[in-house]
Amino acid sequence: MHKPTAGWHADTIAIHGGDAPQDPHGALVAPLYQTSTFVFDSTHQGGQRFAGEEAGYIYSRLGNPTVNQLEQRIAELEGMQAGAAAATGMGAVAATMMAFLQQGDHVVASDAIYGCSFALFDHLFRRFGVDVSFVDMSDLEQTKAAFRDNTQLVFLETPANPHLKLVDIAAVSKLAHQHKARLVVDNTFMTPLLQRPGEFGADLVVHSATKYLNGHGDVVAGLVTGRSEDIELIKFTTLKDMGATMSPHDAWLILRGLKTLPVRMQRHCENALAVVAFLQEMQQAGMISRLYFPGVNQDEQSHESDLLQTQMKAAGAVIAFDMTGGFRAATRLLDQLSMIKLAVSLGDAESLIQHPASMTHSPLTPEARAAAGIGDGLVRLSVGLEHADDIITDLRQAFTSLK
Ligand SMILES: CSC/C=C(/NCc1c(COP(=O)(O)O)cnc(C)c1O)C(=O)O
């Protein structure tokens, strides 16, 4: 039965998006195709399918009905033509970038990105002869100067991991396209509910689906969306041959998580605003030297508040802050919390807190960490779905214990 998907709101696409695999029993939730391979009717059919002469499934690393339903749903949510699913967020980042790179190429990357993305670019890509320039993309002149004749890709996160630095997607996209390069935006911290980078000129949008998209702390996975021809290239070169494809069960769990993404993001953002207000009290009390949250440091970047208005629907629910007492205060605070869990990752129902310098961003060289402004006193908090008062109570008792 044809679905009238045109004109649906994101809240509806999150539940109904993507073609559910046909089920003879009319199951409301499409069955999970937990299979490694698919049986051919004949040798001829098998050959035809491998040759691409006949549509149909072959082997789950080459495509799976449950995974395809998720790929279609995330593409519809991002407003992109197609999607590809990966075993992890890093699988999505790596497969996406490597599909468009070869030895001798150059990449312009933001200096504010997740630690393992930095490591992929700064260690692995260099080993294979791809050069990467890390730039402060809030400085468009510096960004422009970084381009070379062999620049093929531009990569950024906004808001960036770990301290929520914002980048003007449209401005960087213009620079990328002037140099005939593709722009890849990692939209993990926002999700398509709060930001759709394709609307501002991103060619490819990647996600750690581990985070908000799945949202329940029980899956590690990745997704990428873009134009059909780019997604096909990623699927049938790097993803297929690197083997970084997503399991059908993970896809099935993410499809279930996505159904509540709109209401979860609303609650995450409401909670985050209440927690920011409390942390501002701690800042006024001198226990926090700097608070990072989109729109909070108005003096810092008035352009930041413009971007919050133009490319984002809300500020999100990840907060970072520098402890006045540095590493020792940060360590004591994190070790004092009880309901808020001391763990990396973000975007889960559970509030999570961690220490970027020694954890998520430990792969950065000391120089890169300094350039990105990631100090030893920096703490990153992912605000969960608990009652805001209970989150604040836990934070308050931990801060009080430092006095
Ligand atoms: C070991 S640290 C835990 C992971 C964290 N981040 C992951 C991440 C990835 C990579 O996504 P996976 O491969 O699904 O973890 C890609 N892009 C962004 C913006 C990310 O934050 C973290 O806690 O900041």
- Give the helix, strand, coil percentages of the chain, each rounded to 5: 40, 15, 45
**Does residue 186 have an active-site annotation?**
yes
**Residue type (1 letter), 310:** T
Partners of 226 in the beta sheet?
82, 204
Q: Alpha carbon of 383 to those of 52, 168, 261, 265, 293: distances in Å?
A: 46, 25, 15, 11, 12
DSSP one-letter code for 260? T
Give distance in angstroms: CA of 291 to centre of ligand 1. Answer: 22
Does 157 contact ligand 1 (Cβ within 6 A)? yes
Q: Mind listing the pLDDT tens digit for each residue in 131-179?
A: 999 999 999 999 999 999 999 999 999 999 999 999 999 999 999 999 9
Q: Is the ipTM of this complex over 0.85?
A: yes
Q: String of b and e for 182-196 (b: at least 16 CB within 10 Å)?
A: bbbbbbbbbbbbbbb
Q: Mind listing the pLDDT tens digit for each residue in 65-106?
A: 999 999 999 999 999 999 999 999 999 999 999 999 999 999
Q: Which tokens go with 275?
A: 């927690």
With contact defined as beta carbons under 8 Å apart, do 356 and 162 qualify? yes
Q: Which residue's C-alpha comes closest to atom 21 of ligand 1? A: 114
DSSP for 15-41, written as a single string: HH-S-PPP-TT--SSPPP---SB---S
Give distance in angstroms: CA of 367 to centre of ligand 1. Answer: 21
Does 345 contact ligand 1 (Cβ within 6 A)? yes
Q: Which residue's C-alpha comes closest to atom 1 of ligand 1? A: 360
Q: Which residue's C-alpha comes closest to atom 22 of ligand 1? A: 345
- Is pLDDT of 1 > 60? no
For the CA of 354, the closest atom of ligand 1 is 23
Q: Mind listing the pLDDT tens digit for each residue in 338-396?
A: 999 999 999 999 999 999 999 999 998 888 888 888 999 999 999 999 999 999 999 99
Provide, rounded to the nearest whole percent, the portion of the chain with pLDDT above 70.
Answer: 98
Does 187 contact ligand 1 (Cβ within 6 A)? no
